[in-house]
Amino acid sequence: MDLGLGGKVALVTGVSYGIGAAAAASLVSEGASVFGTSRSAPEPDAQISHASIDMSQPTAGDEAVAACLKQFGRLDIVVNNVGSAQIGTGFAAESDEIWREFWELNLMSAVRTSRAALPALVESRGVIVNVSSINGRLPDSGIYSYSAGKAAMNNLTVNLGREYAARGVRVVGVAPGPVETPLWLGPRGVAAQASAVGAGEADDIIAGAQKSVPIGRFSTAQEVGDLIAYLCSPRAASITATTVTIDGGITPTT
């Protein structure tokens, strides 16, 4: 299936690994040019342009959009992917500092990047994809600030999508469940963090999480990246102001 993304320009945040890297690869494979941001460099074979930008900083959205426009002269797609979480032991364990840190990274980075990109996206009749999480609908007591930030992102997707629909801009969310990425499986990932606060051995935590997924496994980063590429394409032209779940059947829907 040709997704009709040839010649399009995409800005993807948090592009060094995981879902961001997979989304960039899927977009490149469909003929798009990708400008990526992250604090660490992407893989050498990523076939993208890259700027080292900490997206949690207040000026980062403006900087990323300006750098992309300088490089390519246009902007058609924004994938607000950057994000992280810190596993805790409950509400009392999350200080104001933790709330501020993850609110800035998980929500405000998307707000600021979208705000900076919208003039160009109105001109190109483009797309914003906000990478959320099933925790936006299924909050977890170990990640209060992360869950709240993702719920707010879902709200942003609906509101922004409805406001800008008449101006030709679509805004869509993607809510993954557990994904085979360093965010879950890495040395500082969810399993390792949960183990460090007494939840058991990391391998047992991963095995238990896999068993909780109806399909019996985590999603792959490529599956999420391919979904993002589809939602960016004209094939998904009537999908906006909503968040699409990709979680192997965890989230109950009717």
pLDDT tens for each residue of 88-146: 999 999 999 999 999 999 999 999 999 999 999 999 999 999 999 999 999 999 999 99
Domain boundaries, the chain: 9-177+219-245, 184-217
Give the whole-angstrom CA distance, residue 119 versus residue 167.
10
Percentage of the residues of the chain whose pLDDT score is greater than 70: 100
Q: What is the pLDDT of residue 72?
A: 98
- Confidence label for 235 from pLDDT (cuts 50, 70 and 90): very high
Per-residue burial over 185-211, b if 16 or more Cβ lie within 10 Å, else e, is: beeebbbbbbbeeebeebeebbeebee
- In the annotation, is 146 catalytic? yes
Q: What is the pLDDT of residue 189?
A: 86
Give the whole-angstrom CA distance, residue 61 versus residue 112.
5
Q: Which of 17, 144, 146, 164 is catalytic?
A: 146
CB-CB contact of 132 with 154 (8 Å): yes
Give the whole-angstrom CA distance, residue 201 versus residue 155.
35
CB-CB contact of 37 with 61 (8 Å): no
CATH code matching the domain that covers 9-177+219-245, chosen among 3.40.50.720, 3.30.360.10, 3.40.190.10, 3.40.30.10: 3.40.50.720
Structure tokens given for 105: 């990274």
> pTM for the whole thing?
0.96
Q: What is the pLDDT of residue 8?
A: 98
